[in-house]
Chains A and B, each alone.
Chain A
Amino acid sequence: MAVAQEQADIRLSERIRAAVQTRTMLWSTLAAIFVVWIAVSLAADVSAGRIISLIAWGVMLGGVIGLGGIGLTLTYGVLKFPNFSHGALVSLGAYLTFAVVDLVPNTARIGPFSFGWEFVLGIVIGAPIVGVVCLAIDRVMYRPLRSNNASLVLFAMASLAMAFFVRSIVYMIWSGDFRFYYPGRSSPALDLPLGIRVQADQLFILLLAGVLVAAVYLLLEYTKMGKAMRATANNPELARVRGINTERVIAYTWMMAGALATAGGAMYGLSSQLRPAMGFWLLLPMFAAVIMGSIGNPRGALVGALIIGVATQLSTSLISPAYGPAVAFVLLIITIVIRPQGLLGAPGE
């Protein structure tokens, strides 16, 4: 009798969980949090214009998080481990761009932006270098682990070690001082309709993030290598059986992740300042975005990044900006409690 009652309880709790742990539930919870937050802010005499500006800035921050997050979700999809050194790659990319801006003669500003062509050149030069660094790390560290079928924990620990290693190299070369791409130069603020005030640079960040994300999407969806990457992420064993050289797919994945991390790092550095631990602080928002958008799903990473970015900026309407990382953490916990699979589901759903 007691056993039957217990089983009935289990069935009931499973039914409740099935009803609660849905994608709709996660979407509506997040939407509700935003609505309530905005309502409380308005009640606390924060102006509507400021809230709209915060949302606009959040979208830009989402672009930066998204550029890092897509690389993270790609490497997770193909290699099946969380790469804790991704933040260090973001820092490395930002500093390599800085090295180029520092070395070459600077041109005049491009249009309304605070940077000149040497900044763009820095990203173009930095991206493949970080890609090659990723490849080298893979050869030395992850490939031997792969051929020994090492456990997930070893991969995660190895990547954590790499995070400190790469960060230390950044410290050695560029020291721990704060740096700016253009010291003393500020990006002019633009007045957009609805009372939104944003910097031209922020619009550039959003545009670049959008273009790169679209490029990644097209590459994954329509090119032969992109299909091979999706196939390898879906079923690595079968990919080998079907004639795909999975080591080559992994190499391309690292190159892409490194290049996107560089773009993200340069954008992040442009919007604030450069310091060796900058990528490390971006790691939590990136992971939160990737998990929220369903890990392994590049479009999901961007959606998650935009939500995290907007939430982080919007939170400053009522609380100190110092709590920014905590906002990402709270959203991550909400996601894991309600629907660990995330908002979008696996890439094939």
Chain B
Amino acid sequence: MPLLKVDGVTCGYGDAEILSNVSMEIGESEIVSIIGPNGAGKSTLMKAVFGLLRPWHGTIGFREREISGLEPYEIVQTGMCYVPQVDNVFTWLTVEENLEIGAYTLTSGGLQERKDTVFELFPRLHERRRQRAGKMSGGERQMVAMGSALMLDPALLLLDEPSAGLAPKMVEHIFDRIVTVNRTGVAIMMVEQNARQSLQMAHRGYVLANGENRVEGTGESLLNDPDVARLYLGG
């Protein structure tokens, strides 16, 4: 039984249909990369999974529970966390407060342990924990955003373009952290512009175009697929 199962989802904004009949799954501890051209509906798919958009048709199951009608704050409690592409930190709040908000639904205590785990993953955040997130660089903000999403120790982490706008060195660092997180057993669903690099680290990938799934396969097989390479990896 997969961890996440998206089955025939159709949805969009207003009257505009963005996704049509998209299906995909993510297994336990798997990295799945969604690639495709701009406007293919990659981010929309992620928003639908996280309850920010209601699917018009189709079902979304997570840990064998139907979640497509739930609010985001309810989905968070099922063990799934999401890092949006932009505006993904609270700029008025300090790094530490951002992390605490990440653990907002944590009721059983253990806040300090969770913080320590995140600080271990991103030592830079520990150094700057009293700094307002709005005063930090793009790379540091991405660390704050990922760190807050990891505060609840989710089973599945959704990452929307984690490398967008970052310097190559920082991209490498963030990707390295994603693999490290995954090794602790967290499944990862990521959308990436940086398709080649993300497929290299992914166990499996899906190619999305015009709101439909076109190709699916292991990361390696997609990288070696001549059609995928020609159409979506820029040669």
Contact = CB atoms under 8 A, between A and B. Distances in A.
A244 interface: yes
Contacts, number: 70
B139 interface: no
B88 A238 contact: yes
Interface in A239-283: 239-246
Given A224-B104, A228-B104, A234-B91, A242 B132 contact: no
B84 A231 contact: no
Contacts of A193: none
A146 interface: no
A243 B76 contact: yes
Interface core residue of B91, B132, B148 (most chain A CB under 10 Å): B91
Contacts of A228: 101, 104
B105 interface: yes
A231 B105 contact: no
A167 interface: no
B92 A240 contact: no
Contacts of A349: 92
Interface in B100-119: 100-102, 104-105
Contacts of B105: 243
Interface string A291-308: 000000000000000000
Contacts of B97: 227, 230-231
Contacts of B87: 235, 237-238
A230 B93 contact: yes
Nearest to A346: B92
A70 B139 CA distance: 36
Contacts of A184: none
Nearest to B148: A242
B104 to A, nearest CB: 5
B77 A243 contact: yes
Interface core residue of B89, B92, B148 (most chain A CB under 10 Å): B92
Contacts of B134: 348
B150 to A, nearest CB: 12
B12 interface: no
A235 B105 CA distance: 17
Interface of A: 224, 227-228, 230-231, 233-235, 237-246, 346-349
9 contacts: A231-B93, A231-B101, A238-B89, A238-B90, A239-B101, A241-B76, A242-B148, A243-B77, A348-B92
